[in-house]
């Protein structure tokens, strides 16, 4: 058995280091470390509750409005404010824009460049993949950056700027949309649709959304040559390379529900365990500190009375990340979890046949893009320009609340306690904290730690490419993880 330390793991958000135990050409155990600690939860104590809207987005530059939305939802719960329909529509649009931009950034800039690595030089598909996806110089990056930037004009129109907008508030949004903005929003979304239908899918969003089984997906893949659309290119290469055998997850999925509207969600809230859905209960969440460089509470605690105090010499610690567990179990979050909890037939079928794996995670993300953009079009059309976008309410001096949202990378929760008008405790559980958690007090590894076991290591490889694919299939965000 050899122990190897891999890092920095770039083309993820933030810093990541992984210790691998390797034997017989495969990974036997993985220990994931997030080596940066900033201490947002301490920073927030003593602040005015509304200031959470300034601090928490700055936990993360890649999903800053998701952080902001979690804080706004928590504050809204405390204030008991009812958001006008326009406000909820714009909140959803801003969240959807960030999530879509994140999925695109991940696919084109973070994930696909690994197929242009020299280890694959001998593969018959290599030339095409390298021309299209090579980091910095590939044709894809040069197309997607302008398309992404133009799509983010939506943020300029609706939220002033991105990242780190203050426009999402407990009672709605700060920028009223007039008739002219409404049509420009439609044009901006239409422009993204054109990019997606030309470059990413080479098909309509509706056709992609209608794929309802692995057989249907395979037929779609085979219906055109692999260069017809970047998704097909991925599907072909990943099939040849067996990405569906890599990075098997735990089979337990959690989604807080995405895009709230009229008391429900556009993508349902819930849990899927052993293929069966069940209801989510916040009280089942507990954070375990057994492998973290953090002070140890007597027992794993619910985040509403959680604790985040650094203790660099805590025995057995190997990361700043905590280990959140749901009813004691390891759960996976993210686009795959969202789509399986929502019951999309393609993802349900893929997981039933081959489990959650590196390939399914990418497919779920791309499917999500195809599903979100038409929703955005409908939301823009539903805005009623002369009606209110923001309600205002007083903040009670004392109380406790939670804000649960779905960031691109999965379930994000904020828990806040306010005493005498000041934040007394603030705890955050980010999506990557779920997926990249270390071992808990029972020695059970987190989702990605489990997914890395059995990853093949090729002869002479220092940083195994299979490990790269698996880690990046989760689209980890380490700055969120440890905040």
Partner 1 sequence: MQNLPGKPRRLNLLWLQSGGCGGCTLSLIGAESPDLLTALDIAGIDLAWHPSLSEATGFELHELLARLISGEEPLDILCLEGSVIRGPRGTGRFHMLSGSERPMKDLIADLAPLANHVVAVGTCAAFGGITAAGDNPSDACGLVYDGREPGGLLGPRFRARSGLPVINVSGCPVHPGWVVETFLQLAGGTLTEADLDGIGRPRFYADHLVHHGCTRNEFYEFKASARNLSEMGCMMEHLGCMGTQVHADCNIRLWNGEGSCTRGGYPCISCTEPGFEELDHPFTLTPKRAGIPVGLPTDMPKAWFVALASLSKAATPERLRKNAVADHIVVPPVGRQGKHQK
Q: How far apart are CA 402 and CA 417, in angstroms?
A: 9
Are the C-beta atoms of 30 and 448 separated by less than 8 Å?
A: yes
181 phi/psi in degrees, rounded to 5: -65, -40
Q: Is 39 in the site for partner 1 (CB under 8 A)?
A: yes
Length of the chain counted residue by residue:
483
| Region of residue 265 (left: phi > 0; alpha: psi -120 to 50; beta: else) | beta
Asked whether residue 63 is marked as a ligand-binding residue, the answer is: yes
Q: How far apart are CA 386 and CA 176, in angstroms?
A: 8
Cross-sheet strand order for the sheet of 276-278: 252-255, 270-273, 276-278
Which residue in 162, 253, 256, 434 binds partner 1 (CB under 8 A)? 162
Rounded least distance, CB 44 to partner 1, Å: 7
Asked whether residue 483 is marked as a ligand-binding residue, the answer is: yes
Containing 27, the helix (H) or strand (E) segment is: strand 26-33
Residues 63-122, interacting with partner 1 (CB under 8 A): 64, 105, 109-110, 113-114, 116-117
Q: Is 36 in the site for partner 1 (CB under 8 A)?
A: yes
Residues 174-193, interacting with partner 1 (CB under 8 A): 174-176, 178
Residues 423-442, interacting with partner 1 (CB under 8 A): none
Task: Give the residue among 150, 165, 60 at the shortest CA–CA distance from 100.
Answer: 150
Nearer to partner 1, 51 or 377 (CB): 51
Cross-sheet strand order for the sheet of 17-23: 2-6, 17-23, 26-33
Window of 56-64, 244-252, 294-302, 322-330 that interacts with partner 1 by CB under 8 A? 56-64
Q: How far apart are CA 277 and CA 374, in angstroms?
A: 26
Rounded least distance, CB 468 to partner 1, Å: 7
Rounded least distance, CB 333 to partner 1, Å: 20
Are the C-beta atoms of 428 and 120 separated by less than 8 Å?
A: no
Nearer to partner 1, 142 or 353 (CB): 142
Containing 293, the helix (H) or strand (E) segment is: none
Asked whether residue 390 is marked as a ligand-binding residue, the answer is: no
Task: Give the residue among 235, 286, 295 at the shortest CA–CA distance from 107.
Answer: 235
Nearer to partner 1, 145 or 307 (CB): 145
Rounded least distance, CB 45 to partner 1, Å: 7
Q: Is 61 in the site for partner 1 (CB under 8 A)?
A: yes
Rounded least distance, CB 352 to partner 1, Å: 34
Nearer to partner 1, 13 or 440 (CB): 13
Residues 364-393, interacting with partner 1 (CB under 8 A): 385-386, 388-390, 392
Asked whether residue 60 is marked as a ligand-binding residue, the answer is: yes
Nearer to partner 1, 117 or 228 (CB): 117
Which residue in 111, 172, 323, 444 binds partner 1 (CB under 8 A)? 172
Residues 118-157, interacting with partner 1 (CB under 8 A): 134-136, 141-142, 145-146, 148-150, 152-157
Rounded least distance, CB 411 to partner 1, Å: 20
Nearer to partner 1, 302 or 422 (CB): 422
DSSP 211-278: --SHHHHHHHHHTS-TTSSHHHHHHHHHHHTTGGGS----SEEEE--EEEETTEEEE--EEEETTEEE
* CB-side neighbour CA atoms (13 Å) of 376: 29
Rounded least distance, CB 407 to partner 1, Å: 13
Asked whether residue 428 is marked as a ligand-binding residue, the answer is: yes
Specify binding-site residues.
41, 60, 63, 428, 477, 480, 483
Binding-site entries for Fe cation: 63, 480
């Amino acid at each position: 058995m050899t122990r190897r330390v891999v890092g920095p793991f770039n083309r993820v958000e933030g810093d990541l280091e992984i210790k691998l135990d390797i034997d017989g050409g495969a990974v036997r155990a993985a220990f994931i470390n997030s080596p940066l600690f900033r201490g947002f939860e301490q920073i927030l104590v003593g602040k005015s509750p509304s200031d959470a809207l300034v601090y928490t987005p700055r936990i993360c530059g890649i999903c800053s409005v998701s952080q902001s939305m979690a804080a706004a939802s928590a504050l809204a719960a405390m204030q008991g404010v009812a958001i006008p329909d326009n406000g909820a529509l714009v909140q959803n649009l801003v969240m959807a824009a960030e999530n879509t931009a994140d999925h695109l950034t991940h696919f084109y800039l973070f994930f696909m460049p690994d197929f242009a690595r020299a280890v694959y030089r001998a593969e018959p598909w290599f030339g095409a993949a390298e021309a299209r996806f090579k980091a910095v110089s590939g044709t894809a990056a040069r197309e997607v950056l302008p398309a992404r930037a133009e799509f983010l004009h939506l943020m300029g129109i609706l939220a002033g700027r991105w990242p780190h907008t203050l426009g999402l508030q407990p009672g709605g949004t700060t920028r009223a949309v007039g008739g002219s903005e409404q049509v420009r929003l439609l044009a901006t979304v239409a422009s993204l649709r054109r990019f997606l239908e030309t470059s990413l899918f080479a098909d309509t969003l509706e056709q992609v959304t209608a794929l309802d089984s692995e057989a249907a997906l395979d037929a779609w893949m085979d219906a055109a040559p692999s260069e017809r659309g970047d998704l097909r290119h991925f599907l072909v290469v990943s099939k040849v390379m067996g990405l569906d055998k890599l990075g098997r997850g735990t089979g337990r999925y959690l989604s807080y529900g995405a895009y709230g509207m009229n008391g429900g969600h556009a993508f349902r809230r819930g849990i899927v365990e052993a293929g069966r859905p069940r209801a989510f209960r916040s009280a089942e969440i507990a954070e375990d500190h057994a492998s973290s460089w953090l002070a140890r509470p007597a027992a794993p605690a619910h985040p509403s009375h959680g604790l985040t105090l650094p203790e660099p010499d805590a025995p057995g610690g190997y990361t700043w990340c905590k280990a959140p567990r749901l009813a004691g179990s390891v759960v996976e979050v993210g686009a795959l979890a969202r789509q399986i909890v929502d019951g999309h037939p393609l993802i349900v079928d893929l997981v039933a046949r081959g489990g959650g794996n590196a390939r399914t995670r990418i497919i779920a993300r791309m499917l999500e893009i195809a599903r979100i953009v038409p929703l955005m079009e409908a939301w823009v059309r539903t805005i009623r320009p002369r009606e209110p976008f923001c309600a205002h309410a007083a903040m009670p001096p004392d109380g406790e609340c939670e804000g649960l949202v779905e960031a691109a990378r999965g379930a994000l929760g904020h828990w806040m306690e306010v005493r005498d008008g000041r934040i007394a405790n603030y705890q955050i559980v980010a999506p990557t904290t779920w997926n990249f958690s270390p071992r808990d007090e029972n020695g059970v590894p987190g989702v990605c730690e489990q997914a890395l076991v059995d990853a093949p290591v090729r002869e002479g490889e220092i940083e195994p490419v299979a490990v790269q694919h698996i880690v990046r299939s989760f689209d980890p965000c380490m700055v969120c993880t440890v905040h």
